[in-house]
Amino acid sequence: MTHSIEALEKGEIPNLSASNQNGNILGPNGVESQVQPRDVYSVFSNSQKRCVVFLVAFAASFSTLSSFIYFPAITPLANSLHTTPGKINLSVTTYMIVSAVIPSMVGSAADTSGRRPLFLLTLATYFVANIGIAVQSSFPALLMLRMLQSAGISGTFSVAYGVVSDIASPAERGSFVGIVAFGTNTAPSFGPVLGGLLAAYKGWRWIFWFLSIASGTTLVAMIILLPETARKVVGNGSIPATGIHKLPIPRVLGLATTPTAVSSIKHKWKCPNPLTCLYTLAHRGTAIIVAVVGILYMTCVCIQASLSSIFISNYHFGELESGLIYLPFGFGCSLAAYFGGKILDRDYRHTAKAHGLVVDSVHGDDLSQFPIEEARLKSIFYPIVAGAAATIGYGWSLESKTVCAWLTSAAWY
């Protein structure tokens, strides 16, 4: 049962921290109470939470890395497959189309069937697709395998954010979200550099051999280390996992928690519905936030996708230099991901203090009594204004062909 903080402070409900010698809860008059203490939000320790989030963040980074590491390989691929770069660009289009649909399906399935099975399934699919692309020698095969690659990896970031919501209470969630954002936001920056180096010195096939090795290693790590976190499957982590949800080696690296509850949750596999997430757009506030973030993300992707080609045409950069130009953007994304998470947690605490509420990061706060929208949007306007100003300056610099230093600093934002 969840009680308001005001009622607790007024003494209208028992103090859950008081107990007798038998461990029973005592009320305000010292009488044993029937009220049970609230369960902790998650039984995972802070170190366990960090290990889990770092692991899923690394896996989620493949989602954006796979798209941008591919760009330097377009021309070599066209030459190798005896086709045109225009046709190879179709594989980019199909990759993006699939990546627009799959996350909603994977996210829906992970909510009901568990995070661990979906991570293993998607990474295994991605691993196989990368091997297929590395050994194929025809355009139709490339097109189909790129779609399979996208189907396998594009939904991992949505599952990663789900893991964060499973194990991190609202008061501490910002920092963990920052870890996931760090991986997904910085991968597009070093992806073109890495892809350019591999294509130049080892050939385009080694781009996908690299992705195969990296994703295969991550898959093995997840099989051994990633516990089930879905609250519909294991609750706060105290319900014992079974079957594929269970770690093969209990207690490995301390990530397997000791079950303290008997499972009463019945879960079964369900066919994911990609339209389920669209229902949230019926809420006006949600629709506005999605529209604003969509515009910002569209702007970001347009800048990233055109950055290298514009610098080659305007400033006569080589292929390696046009890849290195993404690094300032990656540095800016790294700072934004780190400080953004810290700012989210700070705003949460300040909002709670302003409304006279007590933050409970152990048991989790009752968000029905907490102005969560105010906390999350408290500092959002500053980066939006800074980003808009930097984008305007970036466009002006391109038009006037001014020095590259301004362009890279604008790309920071």
pLDDT at 264 over 50: no
Residue 196 makes CB contacts below 8 A (sequence gap 6+) with 72, 319, 320, 322, 323
| Phi, psi for 397 (deg, rounded to 5) | -65, -40
What pLDDT shows up at residue 58?
A: 94
Question: Higher pLDDT residue, 330 or 390?
Answer: 390
Confidence bin at 318 (pLDDT 50/70/90): low
Confidence bin at 147 (pLDDT 50/70/90): very high
CA quadruple 259, 261, 263, 267: dihedral positive or negative? negative
Tell me 12's DSSP state.
S
What pLDDT shows up at residue 31?
A: 44
pLDDT at 123 over 90: yes
Lowest mean pLDDT among 89-103, 133-147, 291-305: 291-305
Out of 138-152, 241-255, 348-362, 391-405, give the one with best mean pLDDT: 138-152
What pLDDT shows up at residue 272?
A: 63
Number of H helices and E strands in the chain, helices first, is 16, 0
What mean pLDDT, rounded, does the chain reach? 79
d(C-alpha 345, C-alpha 358), whole Å = 14
What pLDDT shows up at residue 23?
A: 41
Amino acid code (one letter) for 215: S
For the chain, the C-alpha Rg in angstroms (whole number) is 24
pLDDT tens-digit readout, 331-360: 777 788 778 888 888 888 888 888 888 887
pLDDT at 150 over 90: yes
